Amino acid sequence: MLKKLLIIAALSMGLTTQAQTRSDSESALRKLNIAEVAVKNLYVEEVDEQKLVEDAIRGMLEKLDPHSSYTTPKETKAMTEPLNGSFEGIGVQFNMVDDTLIVIQPVINGPSEKVGIIAGDRIVMVNDTAIAGVKMTKEEIMRRLRGPKGTIADLRVVRSGIKDLLTFKVKRDKIPVHSIDATYMLRPGIGYIRIGNFSATTYDEFMESMSKLKQQGMRDLVLDLQENGGGYLQAAADLAGEFLNTGDLIVYTEGRRVPRREYRAPANGSFRDGKVVVLVDQYTASAAEIVTGAIQDQDRGMVVGRRTYGKGLVQRPIDLPDGSMIRLTIAHYYTPSGRCIQKPYEKGNKKSYDQDIINRLNRGELTNADSIHFADSLKFETLKKQRTVYGGGGIMPDYFISLDTTKYTKYHRELAAKSIIIQQNLRYVDQNRKKLQKTYSDFASFKANYEVPQSFIDMIVKEGEKQNIKPKDEAEMEKTLPYLRLQLKALVARDLWDMSEYFSVINEDSETVKKALELLSE
């Protein structure tokens, strides 16, 4: 009888607790609603009710973790567009020089290329509205060039060597947004793929890149995830699976109200035999850390660089009726060995969280491996070779590469900050495009033989002087020149070809890439 009474009492207490929780929740919602109604109807001045609600939502989320967030409809569209793999527009890469839009490259098989727009063209009018020489912002110009698929953009174009304005009617279409920045053969037998983010199209792009490299004789791969801020979890899991065996664990997620969910390789991957080196840095985050952690924990490859960012919180997008969105953290990411990717944080203190990279630099962590310390409690073991790896936030590489703080002189940084290097590069290529294309019929001959002329350097120095930017002394100028010349050569290659050629040039001076090549040659 006593046992029966205890059970009834326990059930009663449970129901009471549930009822109390429900009552507290309803009370809190009523409280929030009363406050909103009171401000709207009684405040001394007129208020924007929409903004009031948005501020209340932001206020709630700001007291949680650093990655729970609210975005307006406009912000949501801008945030999701790169991850969806396409946008609608005319299909040109462009930049601004002296308030004039210069086409860097039309998108291959895009709507602009189909009607005859070429690199070097200046678009001066869109639908009878002047966009050149009127100090229109780049964002406003993009808004005018973009538009729904099937609509017409009536363009007026200035082309070098042609006296009159050219007219093009461009039918807007879906323009792909590529998440893979570069694909090329780094050395005979060694391929290189750099991924900028993980979008809806990343896996397909990756498989296409792999196929291209295999046809060129790739046996081993350098996978560059430096500065990759992440993206879609599923895209990362699909990609990681290509390096693993059937059933190998890639990542799992778990939260207070979210049960453990595992992501495993669904089948034997297409690249299980060749050696792999993953390149990372302090900006490698989220989905990119998932790929890195899976390859490291499964002893599938080596990781080179600096400790990654440490973004291991899973957000669930909650769409609101007006197109705005709440991204609410619901779980943590864990690598196959059980490491939590997320670095420590204090709730509601986003400022301190955002200072973490600067704090790492000040502590010497980005420049000296000895400055990095882990507690014994953060030790984990890889699954096959039982190598020691560490938790506590981010992925610690197997081989540390110091951040080279001497590569950019103060003079170089100031030139870059004022966009002088980019602007003068655009002018140089614009003035010399035909000559360069005639001299260098392909990229191989350009890479082997092109040297940045002194006149190009003089253009930059002269423009810097106009803006009161000068080297401290001759020694600083001499120290600036080697990397500046390499950067300019890479930018010229980008504008004549594409980003793969840019990285092919710039990577020749990368200590991280050099270490990867050393490991692959062993």
Catalytic residues: 286, 297, 311
Output DSSP code: residue 243: T
**Host H or E run for residue 481:** helix 474-496
Cα separation values, 371 from 356, 364, 374, 400, Å: 15, 6, 10, 12
Cα separation values, 520 from 189, 209, 240, 252, 514, Å: 10, 20, 19, 30, 10
Tokens representing residue 309 in the block:
């960012």
DSSP letters, 209-235, are HHHHHHHTT--EEEEE-TT---B-HHH
- With the C-alpha atoms ordered 405, 411, 416, 417, is the resulting torsion angle positive or negative? positive
Contact between residue 311 and residue 285 where contact means Cβ atoms under 8 Å apart? yes
Cβ burial 264-286 (10 Å sphere, 16+ → b, else e): bbeeebebeebbbbbbbbbebbb
Burial class (CB in 10 A: 0-12, 13-18, 19+), 193: buried
| Per-state percent for the chain, helix, strand, coil, to nearest 5 | 45, 20, 35
